[in-house]
A = this chain, B = another copy of it.
Amino acid sequence: MANYAEIITKIYNDTLAIKDKGSLATYISELANTDSNKFGVYITTVDDASFGIGDYLESFSIQSIVKVLSLAIAYKLFGEDIWKRVDVEPSGNSFNSLIQLEADNGIPRNPFINAGAIVTSDILLSYLPDTRKYFLDFIRELAGNDDLDYCERIADSEWATGYRNIAICNFLKSFDNIQNDPNEVLDLYFNLCSIEVNCKDLSNIFSLFANEGRMLNKNKQVLTKSQTKRINAIMQTCGFYDQSGDFAFRVGLPGKSGVGGGIVAIHPERYAITTWSPKLNEKGNSYRGMYFLENFTTETEFSIF
């Protein structure tokens, strides 16, 4: 573990030294208020070591990273039936495209593009009496942090500018792939995206996927081994929109990014690592996070491939 700390520190400093070529997400106005120089990294290993550097205790907006968690709950509770309503193929298009949705008759290509996550939100809403509380309890226990919460300010900001998502949800409804009132589904979806977390929280939560579905330290099996592997596989092929192939190519780990600037990557049976730096490359993924992770797996010579 000393090893991870040393390598992470070195690459963290290397990354700080290069020019951050990304730019802040602006389409959700509240996100534009983030301090763009923040940069944090945190690793949680399955042998229960951990290490953080930089702004790893500062909260940021979870955004699309939450899509993995809503998929996990839907899969855990409702099993293989969910794949009738969302596919597991990479999309080859940007995160909020409607084109493929039309060609595929309302079945989203995968659960990590917006359309797919809106469908999993609809599934949760149909079957969980108090969806929002259930979700919060779920991630609080995994993070070991009872302060995790929705951020009303961000959720409101998403509503105010979320016309593309409103379009997607109603488009899905026109194909009968939304069961609830579109406005309620969107409200849940925007709230899930608004949750505030820090790097440590995310690495702790996602250690589940590095640990075959068991909670660290608790010996509690949250997902089956098979479900865990499959969610990891979807992260590998679909976690970075139309940069998914590139992330597999450069970093070689399953992972998921969000426009809040966070990226989580998983090395099965070893660790979950989270980076946070708000400026995004032109594909919507954190510029420094991508740089850090590429160098991290190159330096450690660890990837799944």
Which A residues contact B (CB, under 8 angstroms)?
Answer: 87-93, 97-100, 102-103, 109-110, 163-164, 166-171, 173-174, 182, 225-226, 228-230, 232-234, 236-238, 242-246, 248-250, 252, 254, 268, 298, 301, 303-305
Contacts and interface: CB of A to CB of B under 8 A. Distances in A.
Report which residue of A92, A238, A252, A254 has the largest number of chain B beta carbons within 10 angstroms of its beta carbon. A92
Contact of A87 (B173, B225, B245): B245
Contact of A99 (B88, B99, B236): B99
Given A109-B92, A171-B164, A174-B164, A237 B232 contact: no
A169 B252 CA distance: 31
Contacts of A171: 98, 163-164, 167, 171
A232 B303 CA distance: 11
A173 B163 contact: yes
Across the A-B interface, give the 3 residue pairs with the lowest CB-CB distance, nearest first. A92-B92, A90-B90, A232-B305
Contacts of A93: 92
| Chain A at the B interface: SS class | helix
Copies of this chain present in the complex amount to: 4
Nearest to A225: B301
Nearest to A241: B89
B226 A298 contact: yes
B89 A305 contact: no
Contacts of A87: 245
A297 to B, nearest CB: 9
A164 B182 CA distance: 12
A174 to B, nearest CB: 4
A30 to B, nearest CB: 17
A249 B305 contact: no
A230 to B, nearest CB: 5
Contact of A233 (B92, B170, B249): B249
Contacts of A173: 163
Contacts of A164: 170-171, 174
A246 B304 contact: no
Contacts of A298: 226
B166 A170 contact: yes
B174 A170 contact: no
A248 B239 CA distance: 13
Nearest to A87: B245
